Amino acid sequence: MVPAEKKHREWMGLALAEAKRALDTDDVPIGAVVIGPDGAVLGSGRNQREALGDPTAHAEVVAIRQAADRLRGLSVQGGGTGDGWRLADCTLVVTLEPCAMCAGAVVLARIPRVVFGAWDEKAGAAGSVFDVLRERRLNHWVEVYAGVREEECSALLREFFAGHRSQL
């Protein structure tokens, strides 16, 4: 069996690849993947706020929507009774600590684990500014694995914002 830490690092590589794709549309380079219980990718996403003109098009939300669609489709094809929106036994892997909106989506989707790379000291909701994912007053709690390939994730964001500041 592969140790969780090694799997998290590998999965973060997939999220980093998604984050780099966001650069094509001048979106902030944040990427996410939803990993199913069997280790397969159920959904992937990157920030698409600029590309779509949608303030909710964060990498996590895009990946969660895709995973839910896929699970719903698998349920219909296989005759299962799954509703698609409960992502039980899945893992969300994202390059930046989720914001309050994305953390709320994780809780509502019943995702039990979140793995993230860089901390977001200004808007993070997994321990930095807020801790929505482990808020005991909510009906679902999430295991959080922070700082996975943190330097790579942080460097991608630093380079992006440095480039934007130099254009001003």
Radius of gyration of the chain from its Cα atoms, rounded to whole angstroms = 15
C-alpha separations of 55 from 61, 72, 139 in Å: 11, 25, 26
Q: Is 126 helix (H, G, I), strand (E, B) or coil?
A: strand
Backbone angles phi, psi at 134, to 5 degrees: -120, 25
List the catalytic residue out of 5, 50, 60, 151: 60
Residue 72 burial (C-beta neighbours within 10 Å; 0-12, 13-18, 19+): middle
The answer to whether residues 87 and 109 touch, using CB atoms and an 8 Å cutoff, is yes
Q: Which residue has the tokens 């650069």?
A: 23
The answer to whether residues 32 and 11 touch, using CB atoms and an 8 Å cutoff, is no
Active site residue 97: no
Q: In the beta sheet, which residues pair with residue 118? A: 96
Which residues have a catalytic role annotated?
60
